[in-house]
């Protein structure tokens, strides 16, 4: 992590007109005495060229200083990678619903309880964990990629020195350094990645689409992998046809042969899911919805993934399970579930959760994607300068599908 405490800073406030005609406040962070220890000389030729051509203040990030306050454009020196680090020039960064929770500083746990997220990072923070870009410079010990390589960034990076990390479970590390969560992420034109092993080639896939596999894609894949053994050849229930649920539908079709039923309370989303290949769609609020589902599946869903994560969606998922079925919750809407405990053994069912996925699972997913087996999800792009407005629009439910920011 960069050590900032030895420097003095001058903050210059102002307003700039960006290239898209928008206006935003910015802070220019001027480092008075950068040391070579903190800021080693650029290693890659591309970095040298960029530095010469673009001048000293060439990295722009969109950060927030206090929870819920507007994102501000911050200009600072582009950091140079050291050791195994890789500097990536960001080409696109997805806006994820969990960015709103991070921006708020908490998750709703239900029953008026909140999970405080403020201890997992310090402010200011640059959000953005769905990052794709081009390798701009390499630290002197970085290997496995070259300057100019295009890659999706796996953001769920761990400390690298605990049981979880040593067993390949970076995403389960208790001291995470996840980009855009605990460390600065991709709402910027550059991002520092600790190691080239977190970069994945994405072949001919559209750049704006490719970044979404780093969160919505890997989240869906990780959850689907857990239920695959039960759903394969039988039935899979996908609850929620928003961005991640729709990604789940595309990925499920690529990774298993099963009857897929998509449930959502929004008829427009159900129509989208049907067009995207769902075998059946169902509205849980409609009369007789559960009975219809039991009929469609011949006794209930064998595997189910809840991409909403509310008390209602998880409750519906539990009721929809066949004997021996499994429900995996990945959505983070919030709420608490009243559970009839004896039904767990009596129906031999499992309830679990899934959090993103491991680097190995990212590899498996990207292999499917590069092989052209995962149908593309529609994505829309906006300029990075509209990061703040985009978060607001997402919070207000004004964004349908996946929104991706491009610097």
196 binds Zn ion, rule: CB under 5 A: no
The answer to whether the beta carbons of residues 379 and 212 sit under 8 Å apart is: yes
CB of 48 to Zn ion, least distance (A): 34
216 vs 302, beta carbon nearer Zn ion: 216
Return the range that interacts with Zn ion (CB under 5 A); candidates 158-166, 223-231, 313-321, 328-336: 158-166
Cβ atoms of 165 and 158 closer than 8 Å: yes
| Least spacing, CB of residue 99 vs Zn ion, in Å | 7
Least distance from Zn ion to the Cβ atom of residue 188, Å: 16
Of 138-146, 167-175, 194-202, 277-285, the window that binds Zn ion (rule: CB under 5 A) is 167-175
**DSSP output for 132-184:** EEEEEEE-TT--S--TT-EEEEP-----SSSHHHHTT-GGG-SS---BTTTB-
- Residue 120 has, within 13 A of its CA and on its CB side, a CA count of 24
Under rule CB under 5 A, residue 47 binds Zn ion: no
Shortest reach from residue 177's CB to Zn ion, in Å? 9
Cβ atoms of 239 and 263 closer than 8 Å:
yes
Question: Measured between alpha carbons, how far is 39 from 82 in angstroms, rounded to an integer?
Answer: 8
Q: Round to whole Å and give the CA distance between 104 and 200.
A: 30
Is 162 near Zn ion (CB under 5 A)? yes
| Least Å from the CB of residue 178 to Zn ion | 10
Of residues 100, 159, 276, 289, which one binds Zn ion by CB under 5 A?
159
Part in contact with Zn ion (CB under 5 A); list of ranges 6-14, 54-62, 157-165, 262-270: 157-165
With binding defined as CB under 5 A, does residue 245 bind Zn ion?
no
Closer CB to Zn ion, 71 or 165, in the complex: 165
Residue 206's SS3 state is: coil
Instruction: Verify binding: residue 244, Zn ion, rule CB under 5 A.
Output: no
Shortest reach from residue 158's CB to Zn ion, in Å? 4
- Beta carbons of 87 and 62 less than 8 angstroms apart: no
**Dist CA 241 CA 283 (whole Å):** 11
173 vs 196, beta carbon nearer Zn ion: 173
The HSE-up count of residue 39 (CA atoms within 13 Å, CB side) is 13
Quick one: 159 or 343, whose CB is closer to Zn ion?
Answer: 159
Q: Which residues contact Zn ion (rule: CB under 5 A)?
A: 96, 98, 158-159, 162, 165, 173, 215
């Amino acid at each position: 992590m960069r050590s900032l405490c030895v420097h003095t800073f001058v903050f210059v406030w102002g307003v700039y007109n960006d290239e898209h005609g928008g206006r935003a406040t910015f802070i220019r962070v001027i480092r008075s005495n950068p040391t070579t220890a903190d800021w080693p000389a650029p290693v890659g030729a591309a970095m040298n060229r960029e530095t010469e051509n673009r001048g000293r203040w060439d990295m722009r990030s969109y950060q927030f200083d206090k929870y819920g306050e507007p994102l501000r454009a911050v200009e600072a020196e582009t950091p140079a990678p050291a050791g195994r680090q890789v500097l990536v020039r960001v080409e696109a960064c997805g806006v994820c619903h969990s960015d709103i929770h991070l921006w708020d500083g908490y998750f709703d746990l239900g029953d008026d309880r909140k999970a405080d997220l403020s201890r997992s990072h310090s402010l200011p923070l640059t959000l953005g964990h769905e990052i794709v870009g081009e390798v701009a410079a390499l630290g002197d010990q970085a290997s496995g990629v070259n300057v100019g390589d295009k890659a999706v960034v796996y953001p769920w990076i761990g400390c690298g020195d605990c049981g979880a990390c040593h067993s390949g479970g970076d995403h389960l590390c208790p001291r995470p350094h996840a980009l855009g969560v605990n460390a600065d992420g991709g709402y910027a034109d550059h991002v520092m990645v600790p190691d080239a092993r977190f970069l994945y080639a994405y072949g001919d896939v559209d750049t704006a689409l490719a970044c979404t596999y780093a969160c919505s894609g890997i989240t869906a894949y990780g959850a689907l992998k857990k239920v695959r053994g039960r759903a394969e050849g039988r039935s899979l229930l996908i609850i929620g046809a928003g961005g991640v649920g729709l990604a789940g539908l595309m990925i499920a079709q690529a990774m298993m042969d099963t009857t897929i039923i998509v449930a959502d309370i929004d008829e427009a989303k159900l129509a989208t899911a049907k067009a995207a290949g769902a075998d059946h769609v169902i509205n849980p609020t409609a009369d007789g919805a559960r009975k219809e589902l039991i009929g469609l599946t011949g006794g209930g869903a064998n595997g189910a993934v809840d991409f909403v994560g509310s008390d209602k969606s998880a409750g519906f998922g539990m009721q929809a399970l066949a004997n021996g079925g499994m429900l995996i919750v990945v959505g983070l809407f919030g709420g608490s579930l009243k559970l009839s405990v004896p039904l767990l053994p009596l129906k031999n069912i499992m309830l679990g959760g899934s959090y993103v996925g491991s680097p190995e699972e990212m590899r498996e997913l990207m292999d499917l994607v590069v092989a052209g087996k995962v149908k593309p999800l529609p994505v829309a792009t906006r300029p990075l300068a509209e990061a703040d407005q985009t978060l607001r629009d997402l919070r207000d439910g004004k964004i349908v599908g996946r929104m991706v920011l491009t610097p």
